[in-house]
């Protein structure tokens, strides 16, 4: 059996190196390292793939979130609602911009931001909501957009984990994750569903004016060379990273399919195991999720473990050469940097529970049946004692 890895970047590279290497080589030969033609080409291709008017590439997914918030003109003291159960980048940029993060609880079923909790958290100071499409499926965007409209709020989608996923509206129409809110962001960190070979990120919007503002912000606030109209940052996607991404973008649907296939096999193996809750596809899509849809692109395959010692299971898996992850072990509202006297533990019941139950299994495009069988049998044997 091949060595099991949490992500297998090498295996994936081996399959595409004949195309990736010349694409990188071309950038080196042209010395078009910054804002070269590859960046523009990738931008156009991603716009087309997502069906969004504007993609603005930038240096990483954290910058993408920050720049999106700067572009919307959010001001110190504005309150921004986001999920308590996510990676810290989301709350970090809110705090960095001196906005006030307002963390709210998530759903047990899909780990995404809870609609009632958002409603409860709205005050006259609320200016934006940042849903995070966690582990590969969209938050309830239709409800979020309705709330936003009613309260005149911006919606910034953190789509670092769900690129390529689709959201289905009640009327059956679909939109790609990250293109539904006023602005969306993503990350091309190597282990993400569309990963480059270093850092990378992008911002999406259908709003022409906002796109223009953001294009200036990523480049030192310049709209005309050496004229700095607003305070900006230096956040660019390297041409070499764009050269990698442009080769991988046409493979994204295939890669996501490979992840879904692995997820299906995992879930099938755990059927009937009472102490394991397998991930649920909560987006109500018109297609048959059993046979394949793009509701969930499984950035992570995350189980909830009930009534058995999760940490002992982690140890057992590691001892059997099975890597796994706990995403996330600590709620953001309990992190030293983001504690706030206004928070009430009662409001974070689900997150407080999830941090004790979750375990993410190896998930990537190169998992084979033998590995999946070994992983699932090892877990089931542990549970059955
Ligand atoms: C990875 C990630 C980010 C940050 O992306 P970087 O490119 O690493 O800066 C932000 N939000 C979420 C939910 C992520 O998973």
pLDDT per residue as tens digits for the range 137-180: 999 999 999 999 999 999 999 999 999 999 999 888 899 999 99
Residue 77 domain-assigned (yes or no): yes
Single pTM value for the model: 0.97
Residue 2 domain-assigned (yes or no): no
CATH of the domain at 341: 3.90.1150.10
Ligand 1 binding pocket includes 60 (Cβ within 6 Å): yes
Residue 240 pLDDT exceeds 70: yes
Q: Give the pLDDT confidence score for residue 208 in this predicted structure.
A: 98
Domain boundary at 250, 285, 302, which?
250
Residue 110 pLDDT exceeds 80: yes
Q: Give the pLDDT confidence score for residue 282 in this predicted structure.
A: 79
Q: What is the DSSP letter of 137?
A: B
Domain boundary at 211, 233, 250, which?
250
Tell me what percent of the residues of the chain surpass a pLDDT of 70: 98
Residue 290 pLDDT exceeds 80: no
Find the 88 Cα to ligand 1 centroid distance in Å: 8
Residue 365 pLDDT exceeds 60: yes
Residue 316 pLDDT exceeds 80: yes
The count of structural domains within the chain is 2
**Rounded-to-integer distance, Cα 366 and Cα 368, Å:** 6
Residue 19 domain-assigned (yes or no): yes
Tell me, yes or no, whether 300 and 372 share the same domain: yes
Ligand 1 binding pocket includes 187 (Cβ within 6 Å): yes
Ligand 1 binding pocket includes 64 (Cβ within 6 Å): no
Using pLDDT thresholds of 50, 70 and 90, give the confidence band for residue 292.
Answer: low
Tell me, yes or no, whether 310 and 179 share the same domain: no
CATH of the domain at 188: 3.40.640.10
Tell me, yes or no, whether 142 and 207 share the same domain: yes
Query: What average pLDDT does this structure show over 242-252?
Result: 98
* Residue whose C-alpha is closest to residue 296's, from 173, 174, 161: 161
Domain boundary at 201, 225, 250, which?
250
Find the 198 Cα to ligand 1 centroid distance in Å: 13
Tell me, yes or no, whether 95 and 214 share the same domain: yes
Range of the domain at 378: 252-384
Look over the chain and give the mean of its residue pLDDT values, rounded to a whole number: 96
Residue 3 domain-assigned (yes or no): no
The 8 Å CB, 24+ separation contacts for 143-148 are 143/115, 144/113, 144/115, 144/118, 144/181, 145/180, 145/181, 147/115, 147/118, 147/119, 147/122, 148/181
Query: What average pLDDT does this structure show over 72-93?
Result: 97
Find the 293 Cα to ligand 1 centroid distance in Å: 24
């Amino acid at each position: 059996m091949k060595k099991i890895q949490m992500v297998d970047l090498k295996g994936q590279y081996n399959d595409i190196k004949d195309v990736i290497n010349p694409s990188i080589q071309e950038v080196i030969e042209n010395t078009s390292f910054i804002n070269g033609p590859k960046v523009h080409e990738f931008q156009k291709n991603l716009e087309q793939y997502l069906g969004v008017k504007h993609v603005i590439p930038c240096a990483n997914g954290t910058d993408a979130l920050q720049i999106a918030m700067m572009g919307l003109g959010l001001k110190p003291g504005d309150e921004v609602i986001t999920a308590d159960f996510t990676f810290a980048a989301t709350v970090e940029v809110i705090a960095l911009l001196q906005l006030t993060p307002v963390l709210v609880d998530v759903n047990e079923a899909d780990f995404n931001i809870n609609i009632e909790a958002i409603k409860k958290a709205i005050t006259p100071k609320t200016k934006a909501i940042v849903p995070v499409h966690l582990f590969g499926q969209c938050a309830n965007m239709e409800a979020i957009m309705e709330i936003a409209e009613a309260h005149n709020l911006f919606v910034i989608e953190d789509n670092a984990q769900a690129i390529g996923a689709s959201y289905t509206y009640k009327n059956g129409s679909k939109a790609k994750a990250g293109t539904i809110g006023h602005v969306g962001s993503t990350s091309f960190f190597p282990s993400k569903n569309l990963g480059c070979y270093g850092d990378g990120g992008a911002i999406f919007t259908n709003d022409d004016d906002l796109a223009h503002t953001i294009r200036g912000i990523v480049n030192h606030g310049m709209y005309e060379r050496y004229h700095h109209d607003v305070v900006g940052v230096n956040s660019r996607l390297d041409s070499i990273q764009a050269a990698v991404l442009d080769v991988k973008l046409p493979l994204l649907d295939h890669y996501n399919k490979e992840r879904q296939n692995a997820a299906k096999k995992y879930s099938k193996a755990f059927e009937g195991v009472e102490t394991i809750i397998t991930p649920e596809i909560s987006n109500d899509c018109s297609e048959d999720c059993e046979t394949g849809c793009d509701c969930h692109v499984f950035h992570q395959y995350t189980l909830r473990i009930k009534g058995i010692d999760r940490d002992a299971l982690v140890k057992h898996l590691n001892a059997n050469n099975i890597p796994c992850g706990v995403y996330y072990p600590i709620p953001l509202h309990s992190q030293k940097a983001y504690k706030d006297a206004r928070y009430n533990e009662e409001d974070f019941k689900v997150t407080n529970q999830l941090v004790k139950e979750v375990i993410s299994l190896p998930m990537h495009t190169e998992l084979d049946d033998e590995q999946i069988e070994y992983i699932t049998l090892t877990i089931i044997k542990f549970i059955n004692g």
